[in-house]
Structures are given as structure tokens and as C-alpha cells.
Structure 1
Amino acid sequence: MARPRRQDERRAHLLAAARAAIIGRGLADVRVRDIADAAKMSPGTVTYYFREVQDLFQDVYDEAVERFYLRRARASAMHDDPRHRLAAMIESGLPTGPDDELCCLLYEFSPQARLRRGEATLRRSLFDRQAEIYEAILNDGARRELMTLTAPAVDAARNLVAFEDAYGYHIIARTSLGRSEALRLMRQYAAMVTGLTTVDDASRSSLDRPAVGADGL
């Protein structure tokens, strides 16, 4: 009875080792030996659990996509006020810094999406699912008269996710655009399309102010 559990533990250990190898060497340069060294196992053990290293990479990507989406969904769900939810979504959508492991993993796989159908499908699904959260927040804000949308919710939602993808790359790549500047630009756009005076940190009381024009004043 213990054997399936042990196998699951081994596979989870190999997934963690593969993540470390990808972060350390870059996806294009990772080989079975690198994963085996990170896991402190033999290459044969790696191929016993994952006959093709691409299958292991696919599992790493699948897990990273789901973890990232759940992180965002949970951050949003912590708030009832759609203005707070919007702020939380923006904060959770950008890498915490150049060494954000989860975001680094996602960006490592990005160039492969064009060539690997499974990854392309997952990436498209992740984009759509994130946009759906944003769209629901914006529609809720408009319905409750806390936001005055200046663009269709679906368009604004897609733009927000696209901006995150672009700015996130700059944060990971350590260009001149860091997290604080990316947050400023994201919040600026969000305020512009929601009619809010400001979209700030989710814990800030400034979000309690009503949307411009929402109360008819």
C-alpha cells in the first residue's frame, strides 16, 4: 500500500529538482544529469519516473501555471470590495523581483509555447482565466457603482493581463523597468479605465473612496 505514495513522493521530489535545475541553468540547457544531480539521484531513476525529460518539463510547467493562477485567485478572493480586489490582482500579477521562482519558471517556458502545443494551450488558458478574474472584478465594480468603466470590461481585463506579461518580463530580465515602476504603470492604467482616483495597495484606505462620478457628484 505504501508503494504508490512513495512513487508520488519521488515524482514530487523530481519536480522540485527540475524546477531548481531550470532556474539555475535555464530550460534550454537542462539535461537529465542536471536534474539527477539536483535530486541527488541517478539519471536512471529520473528516466524511470519520467521516460522522456520533456514529460517532466511539461509537468513542471503544468504545476507552475496552476500555482500562479491559484495565487492570483486567492489574492483576489481575500477581498469583497472590487477596488481592493483589483489592487490585489495587480499586486499578485507581477513578479516580486528578478528572483521570483514561479514567474521565472513561466518566462523560461514562454519561448517554447510556439513549438509545443500543450504549453501553448496552457498559456492561452492561463491568459484567459486571469482575464476572466479581472473582467468579473470590473463588472462587479460597475454594477455596484464603485467604478465607472471607460472601456468594455473584457478589453480592459485583457489589457491588464497583457501589461503584466510585458512588465513581468522586464522585472525578471532586470531592465530599467523594475517592480515599483511596473506597479505604478499598472495602477495608472487601472485607474484610467475604472474612473477611480487611485488604485493603490489593497490595504490602503484610499481604495475606500468612491469612484469619480459614481455617486453623481
Structure 2
Amino acid sequence: MARPKQQDARREELLRAARAVILTRGLNSTRVRDIADQAGVATGTVTYYFRELDELFDLVFAEAVERFCTAREHDTLTRANPREQLAALLRSGLPSGPDDELCCLLYEFSPQARQRASDAASRRELYGRQVDLYIRVLTAGQEEGRFRLQRPAAEIAANLVALEDAYGYHVIAQTFMTRQTAEQHLFGYAALATADSSLAP
């Protein structure tokens, strides 16, 4: 029987393999055999550690949400003042480009929201942590006299997260919007919403 540390290492290996396959084949096309082949193990090894493939998918999504949110929080809150924090927050909410691995992974799960009820807690966490972070920065900026919020902080925060999601999709899908254009639009809305014309990409 494998020891706990060995089991943890194997589960992490399978988690990495699942991420790689999902990014390559897409969530709907990912099968146990694909993950086993990617990890270089038998299919029985995958099913030993994860009886249901959805259990592994849930972990992949939850881990991606945690990485994304933690990175944004750290990048934002280490800045000197609310204006710099807001600028950092606006930049970090968009994919770096069509090949942004973490954002691509998160977007793979987005169309499955109705079918994957097991992801609901992670979806709420992803949305809630981003909105809360915006509210924190916007409120601090208003209290310090740097921002004059034109709408309630919660409303501005929700709109900014929604814009990030929408623009980010088009950056990933390479439709009509580049990362640069998306960033300009985000900063433009934030400048209007905070009455801070100094906000710029």
C-alpha cells in the first residue's frame, strides 16, 4: 500500500496530467485514458485515486481558481496605494494572450456551469473573491480621497469583473479584441467609475 506522501505525490501528478490534457483536448473530450497516457500510468491508477473523473475535474478547477485569485490578491495588495492597486488589479484580470494557460483552463470550465453543479462552490469563490478585492480597493481609494465613485463600490466591482470575463473570452478566442484593447476598455470604464482621469494602462 502506498504511503501518504507517495499518494499525495501521485495525486498531484495526475492533477498535472489532467490540466495538460484539458488544455490540449478540451474538457468535454478528456477521458481517463488520456490522463493515464499523459501521466505514463495505467488507467487503473487514475481510477484508484479518483473513482469518478468529475472528482478530478473538480480539483483541477478548484486549484486553478485558487491560483488565479491568490495571484491577483498578492499582486494588488503589495502596491503602495489604492490607485496603483486598482491599476494592478485591472491588468491581472485579463489573459496575457491567447495562450495564457491558467486563464484558458478557467475558460474551459465556464460553458459547463449548468452541467457541472459540483463546481458551484469554486465558481462562487472565483467571482466573490474578485468582486471583494475590487470593493476593498475602491472603498479605500474613496476613503483616501483618491476616487469619487460614481456608483456604489459593489456595482462598479461587479461590472469590472463582468467586463474582464467578457473581454478575456475574446482575447482567448482571438475574435475581435486584443489584450491591449481589452485593457484600454477596462481602464476607461474604471476611470469614469472612479472619476480618476489619471488611471491609464
TM-score computed with the length of structure 1 as normaliser: 0.90
Unaligned stretches of 5+ residues in structure 2? none
In the alignment, what sits opposite 2:58?
A: 58
CA distance in 2, matches of 1:59, 1:125: 14
| Percent of residue pairs identical | 52
Specify the SS of the correspondent of 1:148: coil
- Which secondary structure does the structure 1 equivalent of 2:98 belong to? coil
Residue number in structure 2 paired with 1:35: 35
Counterpart AA for 1:34: D
In structure 2, how many angstroms separate the alpha carbons of the residues matched to 1:178 and 1:167? 9
Aligned to 1:137: 137
1:106 aligns with 2:117: no
Unaligned residue ranges in structure 1 (runs of 5+): 202-217
Q: CA deviation at 1:118?
A: 2.4
Kindly report which structure 2 residues correspond to 1:29-178, keeping only aligned pairs within 5 A, or say none.
29-178=29-178
Q: C-alpha distance in 1, partners of 2:62/2:121?
A: 11
* Two-structure CA RMSD over aligned residues (Å): 1.3
Counterpart of 1:193, as a letter, is A
Contact map agreement 1:94 1:167 (CA 8 A) in 2: yes
Q: For residue 12 of structure 1, what is the aligned residue in structure 2?
A: 12
8 Å CA contact retained: 2:188, 2:200: no
Which contiguous aligned blocks of 4+ residues in structure 1 show a shift greater than 3 angstroms?
A: none
Q: Which shows bigger deviation, 190-199 or 57-66?
A: 190-199
Equivalent residue pairs, number: 201
Structure 1 position 124, deviation (Å): 2.2
**Alignment correspondent of 1:184:** 184
Q: State the 1:126 CA deviation.
A: 1.4
Deviation sequence 1:176-217 (CA, Å, 0-9, x none): 10100000000000000111113234xxxxxxxxxxxxxxxx
Alignment of 1:196-207 (within 5 A): 196-201=196-201
Task: Answer yes or no: is the 8 Å Cα contact 1:187–1:198 preserved in 2.
Answer: no
Distance 1:30 1:119 in 2: 17
For 2:155, give the aligned amino acid: D
8 Å Cα contact 1:147-1:195 kept in structure 2: yes
Please report how far the alpha carbon of residue 125 of structure 1 lies from its aligned counterpart in structure 2 after TM superposition: 2.4
